[in-house]
Amino acid sequence: MIERSLNTCVSVHNKKNCHKQNSDSAAASVCALDGPALNPGAAGLFWSYINRTISFDDPDTRIKRLGELSVKQPGSSGLQTELPPPADDELSARLLGSLTISSCRASLLLNLLLALEDLDRFTPISFQVACAGTKQMGISKAADWLTVYPAGSPQQLWLCRALTHVVDWQRLRETGPWSQDSRAQFLVAALELAEHSAPAKLTASGLQSCQQAFRQLLVKWRPLLPGSFLPHLIILVEGPTEALLLPHLAQCLSISFAALGIHILPAGGANQVVRRFLELRDLTLLPIVCLLDRDAQSQACLLSDSLRDKDRLHVLGAGEIEDVFACELLVELINEHLSSHGLPQQITLGDLSSGSRRTAVLNRVWREAGLGTFDKVGFAHTIVETVCQPSQVPSEIRGFLQAIKQLVAGAAPPEGSQPNMT
């Protein structure tokens, strides 16, 4: 079990907790931290565990990465290494609908809500390995919220796993390396919401109401959260230049990748865009947008034949990302970059109108200035620092970003929508 070295980081639900509170007192209680605050080493390990838990990895990859963390961090880290005893009776009680048996039922509910978000973002096949060791229990008809999924299905087993591998989310209330992270702050807010909204008995309708409240909270927090956290859409680009420029150019148009939940992934070249798309296509339910340079024609053909109805492909008509900028603006940007390095060299519009490809011109300018080969990422930083007006956003990128905005609007669940539990 991957939590072997992370026992302190995971809620341990002992049998003595099962009946220590009645439903009314449990509903009014607030989670109290079990044990002393984490020491710095344990806090760092806990935050690594949280980061891997909430990362946008498919469930199988996520569980493997958690396992690697467990192997790399032996018991000497200060965390207990013994496993809690089997609690099949406790699991059965949860399946029957009781939330009062947990020492922190809000952590349990938050765990379930995050698991349900996973079900909305990943295909059933992505849960198969992750759930391979999850024990299928006899489920009472009273657990209607769980029986909406086929018995033994990956979705049902993933929710069962969420019941038995409960992260001690309340630890995020302590001061630690997570304190300034917006994701941790959101999860604390979600934990507080769970404390006040968790029903004494868990039913399908009750869980839907809780998830509806969770999604309303997510909408309010969305502009402060990274696009990679509970995203609504994925953009695959060739390299870090596009990953740096696209969110900034979108912001110039008052389009926030964070607010829209857009996760942008630099793949490392056109071939890797194809490879990564083919992997994600089978694992995620989210729409995927691929952006390629004009010279990636063979890769574009492969992608075009592989797209799902929800996916999109855009090939830059101008060439590469540097080619989309108007000549006058590009000259200004190049000269600004040279000046920022204390170099007196300046180029003119005629240097770009020589008939040579822009990348060739940029490589020549960089060599003549003693900067070596053209630094795409360094130049992208100059663009980010200089370009700020909507009129400076290239028309091709403007159209691409507007299309992305419309695509997200059709993919993201509207605020307050009822989650799909069927």
Counting Cα atoms < 13 Å in the Cβ hemisphere of 216 gives: 11
The reply to whether 282 and 334 lie within a common domain is no
- Identify which of 334, 314, 312, 338 has the alpha carbon closest to the alpha carbon of residue 325: 334
Residues 403, 198: Cα–Cα separation, whole Å: 39
pLDDT mean by block of 10 residues, the chain; 422 residues: 31 32 33 61 87 92 81 44 37 44 74 94 88 59 70 86 83 92 97 84 82 95 96 97 96 96 96 97 96 95 96 93 90 89 82 72 85 89 94 95 92 50 35
DSSP 1-31: -GGGG-GGGB----GGGTTSS-HHHHHH---
Task: Give residues with Cβ within 8 angstroms of 373, minimum separation 6.
Answer: 363, 366, 367
pTM of the model as a whole: 0.82
pLDDT value for 13:
33
Compute the CA torsion angle 37, 42, 47, 48 (nearest 10 deg): -170
At 354 the pLDDT is 60
Estimate to the nearest angstrom the gap between the alpha carbon of 323 and the chain centroid.
31
Instruction: Classify 272 as helix, strand or coil.
Output: helix
d(CA 127, CA 391) in angstroms, rounded, equals 46
Query: How many structural domains does the chain have?
Result: 3
Residue 210 and residue 160 share a domain? yes
Kindly state whether residue 418 falls inside one of the protein's structural domains. Answer: no
Q: What is the full DSSP assignment across 32-84?
A: ---SSPPPHHHHHHHHHHHHHHHSS--HHHHHHHHHHHHHHS-GGGSS--PPP
Domain C-terminal end among 173, 200, 224 = 224
Give the E-state strand segments of 188-256 in sequence order: 233-237
Note the pLDDT of residue 381.
94
Same domain membership, residue 362 and residue 298: no
Whether residue 247 sits in one domain with residue 194: no
CA distances from 242 to 200, 277, 329 (A): 49, 17, 18
Q: Name the domain boundary from 179, 204, 224.
A: 224
Whether residue 252 is found in the same domain as residue 334? no
Same-domain status, 187 and 280: no
CA distances to 40, 52, 151, 307, 390 from 81, in Å: 18, 19, 33, 46, 56
Predicted confidence at residue 92, as pLDDT, reads 42
Q: Kind of pairing, strands 233-237 and 288-292?
A: parallel
216: three-class secondary structure by DSSP: helix
Decide if 222 contacts 414 (C-beta within 8 A): no
Task: Say if residues 72 and 156 touch (Cβ distance below 8 Å).
Answer: no
Q: What is the CATH number of the domain that holds 308?
A: 3.40.50
Instruction: Note whether 265 and 138 are same-domain residues.
Output: no
**Residues 289 and 340 grouped into a single domain:** no
Residue 420 lies in a domain: no
Do 173 and 246 share a domain, yes or no?
Answer: no
The residue type found at 317 is G
Q: Which pairing describes strands 312-315 and 288-292: parallel, antiparallel, or unpaired?
A: parallel
Residue 290, H or E segment: strand 288-292
347 and 246 within one domain: no
The four Cα atoms 63, 118, 141, 25 give a dihedral, to 10 degrees, of 90
Asked whether 264 and 258 are in contact (CB, 8 A), the reply is no
Element (H, E) at 289: strand 288-292
**Token reading at 166:** 């409960």
Report yes or no on 417 lying in a domain: no
Q: Is residue 419 part of a domain?
A: no
**Pairwise CA distance, residues 218 & 170, whole Å:** 18
Is 422 within the bounds of a domain?
no
The amino acid sitting at 371 is: L
pLDDT of 168 reads: 84
Q: What is the residue-wise DSSP string for 310-367?
A: T-EEEE-TTSSGGGGS-HHHHHHHHHHHHHHTT------HHHHTSSS-HHHHHHHHHH
63/211 same-domain check: yes
- Is 302 in the same domain as 331? no
CA dist., res. 163 & res. 96, Å (int): 12
Task: Give a yes or no: residue 148 inside a domain.
Answer: yes
End residue of a domain, out of 224, 251, 273: 224
Q: Is 421 within a domain?
A: no
Q: What is the residue range of 350's domain?
A: 326-387
pLDDT at residue 382, rounded to an integer: 93
Is residue 252 one of the residues assigned to a domain?
A: yes
